[in-house]
Amino acid sequence: MALTLEQVRHVATLARLSLTPEEEQRYATQLSAVLDAVAQLQSLDVSQVEPTSHATLASSLLREDVMRPSLPPEKALANAPASVGTCFSVPKILE
């Protein structure tokens, strides 16, 4: 699908780009090639392909999420330079 220079200018306006005439010609060629590739993909029959959420069919490689006791606040704050109650105290960075 060949894009016209008018279509390229419209896309450039939407993207807030200022293009030179040479760039308009180059992008017309490049964007047309992208649209041709997409059209080629659309012609494939994928009716027998199961939808997936990932490119690979591997199951999760992460450990199972199991609840377990956490550190007591005193131990978690043992090496903190400053704390207030059971919270870390950090310097204020915004006024």
Which pLDDT tens digit goes with each residue over 10-65?
Answer: 999 999 999 999 999 999 999 999 999 999 999 999 889 888 777 776 777 788 88
The two tokens of residue 56 are 């690979």
> Is the residue at 94 inside a domain?
no
Within-domain flag for 89 = no
What CATH number is given to the structural domain containing 24? 1.10.20.60
Half-sphere exposure of 90 (CA within 13 A, CB side): 4
- Cα 17 from Cα 14, distance rounded (Å): 8
**77-90 tens-digit pLDDT:** 999 999 999 999 99
Enter the tokens of residue 77.
């704050």
What pLDDT is recorded for position 15?
95
Q: How many residues does the chain have?
A: 95
Q: In terms of residue numbers, what domain contains 19?
A: 5-42
- 13 lies in some domain: yes
pTM of the model: 0.50
